[in-house]
Amino acid sequence: MDRRRLLRGAAAAASAGVLLPAARAQAAALADPDYPNAQWTPATTANYTASSRPSEYPIDYVVIHVTQETFTDTIGIFQNPAKQVSAHYVVRSADGYVTQCVRERNVAWHAGNWDYNTRSVGIEHEGWVDRPEYFTHALYEQSAALTASVCDRYGIPKDRAHIIGHSEVPDATHSDPGPLWDWSRYIRLVNFA
């Protein structure tokens, strides 16, 4: 049974007030994020490519983004099939809350470069590149713990050659995370997480 049919069946059963034990267990498994400290808030399947990473594509990078939107609006964008964009994770500024929108095994559409999309995990951070007040201690700390976990799980070195900004992706058209992102602090936190 394919995933879509399972989810439709689970939704129909739930709306009828009945969820069979096997369907409930499978639906719960789908809701478990890859990173245990994240909440699962899925992007629409129209905004990423299903895959079986790392067997189909190796995961070599973490790409750091800044949303240029609020946390809530970013989630809404990822859930809008017309937007054609997603990232694996979004980190909220005020408290460092982490939500996962795309499974790490799937290819999120975040880097603007297909090769880098296939080989990276994308992490969006709530805020604007020219407003450093959004880069809170909680945001840096929780994001660094997430990045360290991704690096540990895929054997990615915890350095600037492998943890890169969106602006560093070849042919990038974005400037995030911008010149106000504190890379020294961030890489130090990743290495001590």
C-alpha distances out from residue 77 to 19, 101, 173, Å: 30, 11, 19
Q: How are strands ordered across the β-sheet holding 89-91?
A: 38-40, 98-100, 89-91, 120-125, 61-66, 163-165
Instruction: In whole angstroms, give the CA distance from residue 110 to residue 114.
Output: 9
Question: Measured in whole angstroms, how far is the alpha carbon of residue 152 from the centre of its chain?
Answer: 16
Number of neighbours of residue 118 by Cβ within 10 angstroms: 18
Instruction: In whole angstroms, give the CA distance from residue 138 to residue 168.
Output: 24
Which residue reads 């602006």 in tokens?
Answer: 167
**Is 126 among the catalytic positions?**
no
Q: 124, 126, 133, 168: which is the annotated catalytic residue? A: 124
**Looking at the annotation, which residues are catalytic?**
124
